[in-house]
Structure 1
Amino acid sequence: MNKKMKVEIKNLTKTFITNKNDQVKAVDNINLTINPGEFVCLLGPSGCGKTTTLRMLAGFEIPTKGEILIGNENVANLTPDKRDTAMVFQNYALFPHMNVYDNISYGLRIKKLPKAEVHERVDRILKLMKMEDFAQRVPSEMSGGQQQRVSLARALIMESGVLLFDEPLSNLDAKLRLHMRDEIRKIQKEVGISSIYVTHDQEEAMGLSDKIVIMKDGTIQQIGSPREIYQKPINAFVAQFIGRANILDGQIVGDKGDTVVLDVHGVQYVTEKTTKHKVGDKVQFMIRPESFNTSEKDFKAEVTKSVFMGSHHEYEVSIFGKTFEISENNPMRKITADVGEILSFSMDPNSIHILEK
């Protein structure tokens, strides 16, 4: 149905001039490749540059410098209608006086396609979206999820090479957001269209992406699969932005080739060598709350928070002058500790990740 297009962003920069005539770099010299058919999420806090990047891809903002290649064509200075892209907006952007059929077919009619072709393509997309029974409804007669589905159908029917998503699920409730996330991923896989999706929701990015791009202050911090970003973040910002992370101090006291010996307050762990650190270096490392074992006794710490969550038990403990989180899975098989009690635990060496300098 859709062409599979490669997208390349090269040295892309966007500088805005403030009211006080100051220059603010919203996007600062970023480079990114989206492979044909790939689903890529731009993820980061407010003001990180992800939405500005998407708007430059769509043609709503012109870059200060840099290239945007769709296929082999540099579209950086082209208007939105001259690009092989389609957009799914946060607020649906449907025509309130038009029914579903007319909303979806609008772009095709503007292009003056033959009526028979328009009808065939609308029928096909309605079946794909499982919305055959909604063709004659107007937006006010539909739920938010149904309207977002129409918005997606309207973008897909243009058969563009690249599909852009601007936080399309943020106006939906939590349950519907989860359902629509799964639907978007399923349809994107079925259609095979290259997709770039902006979100500040970590779970959304993890559930949708082939590749996640973590942004901060207009720059790219790390690019990787959801598994790579979660298990092997490059720095403390990425570690703490994706999921929950404990950042602790240690020292490398041995080198065994592919592994190093990490001393953590007198306890030594053999863990993967992931950086250019050398023996003697003091380092920071990350360990996730679920990567502790409370049946072993490498460390003892006072419990400052103890919450039973059914499937797991969450603790905060105070040790080494820091507070950090431990999540104990299947607490029915474990001895639980209340606030003020002492909890014994160890760390899983395979889950320790040493951060870059």
Structure 2
Amino acid sequence: MKESKRVEIKNLTKTFISGKNKVKAVNDINLIVEPGEFICLLGPSGCGKTTMLRMLAGFEIPTSGSIFIGDKDVANLTPDKRDTAMVFQNYALFPHMNVYDNIAYGLKIQKKSKQEINERVQNILKLMKMEDFAERTPSQMSGGQQQRVSLARALIMNSGVLLFDEPLSNLDAKLRLHMRDEIRKLQQEVGITSIYVTHDQAEAMSLSDKVVIMKDGEIMQVGSPIEIYQKPNSEFIAKFIGRANILKATVVSKEEGKTKINLLGSEYTVADEIQYKEGDVVEVVARPESIKFNGAKHQGKVVKSIFMGENHEYEIQVEDQIIEVSLNNPHGKEIKKVGENLTFIFDEESIHII
């Protein structure tokens, strides 16, 4: 495979004009993707992630800004002049061609020799474990198999950057999980720089080295899946990735990267890199799975109790607050019913000040 490329996006903006209205789908974005890195662009519908991917691919021309692939600014080049390959949501396979010819198509356009085409197609079929599928047409394959062909067709081009446009959204839940693992395994094996668009939080968390969360055409936070989940920088991020209790707390004291807070009437000492002063009111994130029962710090009443198999989900009322709690592996544990009182405690290390 060819060497993976670094991608740098500088002050990238895309404005769509409809009549008298101007809509900034992407607004002055800056982002660096290192060679071999797998990043996911994640966000709600209309956040700009697909427009950004289309600009990277060359299907949209930026209103302003630069897109560097390696050391070359490709912002105004057509798709065929960029060192990228794309895996589409709808597979985009030629229905009248068999698997071999679908995979070989891009190489034929490049006028490669028959011998080189055959060697590269055979190699990619072996990599994808699809040697027995070479003569099948798309109509003779399942959705998952077609998506593997689409991926093989992109990989065979030996591009420096691989782009994914929600490639698993047409698959059923079980197959999505399998293909997710396959894509990550292949990407790590090949080492290609990959940029993947999805609206599925679990997909982004499981696939990527970095998650880029977007909203209203802007990047809200960039970080590893662990950083994004454990240290969200806003209420939007905390609620968009997983579930979160957002609670008010008061700063009691501050010392060397630690902040003592009063949360629901009890004190906790939490890690903190932001400079607050005594008396400041702050918002904290406490994930439902980080709350433990039978601690002595807080008391509340169960207002919802639902068995979910691997988890038991609760809502606990404490004065005018509703706290979500997720009890992992409830087998053998005492299950609290609606109306019962209980005591609980927040895991101090899991509390994060926004």
TM-score (structure 2 length as normaliser)? 0.98
Instruction: Judge which range, 120-129 or 342-351, deviates more.
Output: 342-351
In structure 1, what is the equivalent of residue 16 of structure 2? 16
For the 8 Å contact 1:11–1:66, the answer to whether it is kept is yes
Amino acid at match of 1:334: K
How far does the alpha carbon of each residue in 1:248-277 deviate from its partner, in whole angstroms, 9 at most, with x for none? 000111112121101013200011013232
Q: Identify if the C-alpha distance between structure 1 residues 320 and 67 changes in structure 2 by more than 3 Å, giving closer, same or farther.
A: farther
Q: Which residue matches 2:139?
A: 140
Partner of 1:344: 343
Match of 1:298 in 2: 297
Q: Residue type matched to 2:267 in 1?
A: Q
The 1-side partners of 2:342 and 2:309 are apart by 19
In structure 1, the partner of 2:87 is 88
Letter in structure 2 aligned against 1:174: A
Deviation at 1:68, TM superposition (A): 0.2
Contact 2:264–2:298 (8 Å) recurs in 1: no
Q: Provide the secondary structure at the position in 1 that maps to 2:179.
A: helix
Q: Partner residue of 1:72?
A: 71
Are 1:254 and 2:239 an aligned pair? no
**Percent same amino acid at aligned positions?**
66
Show the counterpart of 2:202: 203
How does 1:110-125 map onto structure 2 within 5 Å? 110-125=109-124
Look up the SS of the partner of 2:296 in the other structure: coil
Contact 1:304 1:318 in 2 (8 A): yes
SS of 1:182's equivalent in the other structure is helix
Whole-Å separation in 2 of the counterparts to 1:160 and 1:354: 42
Q: Which runs of 4+ in 1 moved over 6 A?
A: none
Following superposition of structure 1 onto structure 2, how do residues 186-265 of structure 1 map, counting pairs within 5 Å?
186-265=185-264
Cα shift readout 1:177-236 (whole Å, capped 9, x = no counterpart): 000000000000111100000000000001100000000000000000000000000111
Given that 2:259 and 2:269 are in contact with CA atoms closer than 8 Å, whether structure 1 keeps it comes out as yes
- State how far apart, in whole Å, the 1-side matches of 2:255 and 2:333 are: 34
Gaps of 5+ in 1: none
The amino acid of 1:149's aligned partner reads: R
Bigger mean CA deviation after superposition, 218-227 or 274-283:
274-283
Q: Shift in Å at residue 322 of structure 1?
A: 2.7
State the alpha-carbon separation in 1 of the partners of residues 113 and 138 from structure 2: 26
Change (3 A) 1:320 1:275: farther
Check conservation: 1:2, 1:192, Cα contact below 8 A. Answer: no
Structure 2 CA distance for aligned equivalents of residues 319 and 29 of structure 1: 43
After superposition, give the CA deviation of every residue in 1:141-166 in whole Å (9 maximum; x if it has no partner): 00000000000000000000000000
For 1:88 and 1:330, how far apart are their aligned partners in 2?
38
Distance 1:342 1:18 in 2: 57
| Residue 34 of structure 1: aligned partner | 33
Q: Which range moved further: 21-30 or 142-151? A: 21-30
Aligned residues: 354
In 1, Cα distance between equivalents of 2:112 and 2:135: 21
Match of 2:316 in 1: 317
2:304 is paired with a residue of what secondary structure? strand
Q: What residue number does 1:353 align with? A: 352
Indicate the SS of the match to 1:48: coil
Alignment RMSD, CA only? 1.0
1:341 offset after TM fit, Å? 1.4
C-alpha contact 1:294 1:344 (8 A) present in aligned 2: yes
1:173-188, aligned counterparts within 5 Å?
A: 173-188=172-187
Name the aligned partner's letter for residue 17 of structure 1: I
Cα pair 1:39 1:209 within 8 Å, conserved:
yes
CA contact (8 A) 2:286 2:351 kept: yes
- Is the CA contact 1:295–1:334 (under 8 Å) kept in the aligned structure 2? no
The answer to whether the 8 Å contact 1:92/1:151 transfers is: yes
TM-score by length of 1: 0.97
CA drift at 1:333: 4.6
Aligned residue for 1:279, secondary structure, equals coil
Q: Could you tell me whether the CA contact under 8 Å between 2:254 and 2:276 is conserved in 1? A: no
Secondary structure of 2:337's partner?
coil
Partner of 1:2: 2
Is the contact made by 2:98 and 2:138 (CA closer than 8 Å) also made in structure 1? yes
Q: Shift of the alpha carbon at 1:339?
A: 1.0
CA distance in 1, matches of 2:349, 2:231: 11
Tell me the equivalent position of 1:45: 44
Query: How far off its partner does 1:64 sit?
Result: 0.6
**C-alpha separation between the residues in 1 aligned to 2:285 and 2:34?**
30
Distance 2:78 2:170 in 1: 28
Q: Deviations over 1:277-321 (max 9, x none)?
A: 222210000010010110212111121110122332110122242
SS in 2 for 1:69: strand
